[in-house]
Amino acid sequence: MLKVPEGEPRPGTRDVRAALGLDETGRSAGHRLRRFVPWAVAILAIAGGAGAYLFWGGGGERVVYTTEPVHRGALTVKVSATGSVQPTNQVDVSSELSGTVRSVNVDYNSPVRAGDVLAELDTDKLAATVENNRAKLKVAEASVAEAAATVAEKQAMLARAKSLSDRQVTSRQEYESAKAAADRAEAALESARAQIDVARAELTISEANLAKAKIVSPIGGVVLTRSVDPGATVAASLQAPVLFTIAEDLKEMELQVDVDEADVGQLAVGQKATFTVDAYPERTFPADIRTIRYAPETVQGVVTYKAVLNVDNADLLLRPGMTATADIVVEEVPDALLVPNAALRYAPPQTADQGSSRTFLQRLMPMPSFRAPARPDSTTGSERTVWVLRDGAPAAVPVSVGATDGRETEITKGALEPAERVIVDSANQG
What pLDDT, on a 0 to 100 scale, did the predictor assign at position 30? 52
CATH number attached to the domain at 93-117+217-248: 2.40.50.100
Q: Which residues of 257-292 are buried (b: 16+ CB within 10 A; e: fewer)?
A: bbbeeebbeebeeebebebbbeeeeeeebebbbeeb
Per residue in 323-350, pLDDT (tens digit) is: 999 999 999 999 999 999 999 999 987 6
CATH architecture entry for 62-75+337-429: Beta Barrel (2.40)
CB 245 within 8 A of CB 69: no
Q: What is the pLDDT of residues 55-89, one digit of tens each?
A: 444 445 688 899 999 999 999 999 999 999 999 99
Tell me if 218 sits within 8 A of 271, measured CB to CB: no
Domain-wise residue ranges, the chain = 13-55, 62-75+337-429, 78-88+249-331, 93-117+217-248, 123-212
Mean pLDDT along residues 375-397: 76
pLDDT band at 355 (very low <50, low <70, confident <90, very high): very low
Q: Per-residue confidence at 91, pLDDT binned at 50, 70, 90?
A: very high
What is residue 248's DSSP assignment?
-
Tell me the pLDDT band of 364, cut-offs 50, 70 and 90. Answer: very low
d(CA 244, CA 47): 94
Beta bridge partners of 428: 63
CATH of domain 123-212: 1.10.287.470
Distance, CA of 110 to CA of 112 (rounded, Å): 6
Chain CA centroid to CA 107, Å: 34
Report the candidate in 281, 257, 256, 289 with the shortest Cα–Cα distance to residue 87.
Answer: 256
Residue 9 has pLDDT above 60, yes or no: no
For 78-88+249-331, give the CATH class. mainly beta
pTM of the model: 0.63
DSSP letter assigned to residue 264: G
**For residues 343-359, b (16+ Cβ closer than 10 Å) or e, as one string?**
bbbbebbebbeeeeeee
How far, in Å, CA of 64 to CA of 46, rounded?
Answer: 31
37 φ, ψ (degrees, to nearest 5) = -60, -50
CB neighbours of residue 74 within 10 Å: 10
Model pLDDT, residue 353: 46
Q: Tens digits of per-residue pLDDT, 176-185?
A: 777 888 888 8
Contact criterion met (CB below 8 Å) for 234 and 243:
yes
| Strands, sheet with 242-247, edge to edge from the N-terminal-most edge strand | 90-94, 242-247, 221-226, 111-112
Q: What is the pLDDT of residue 152?
A: 81
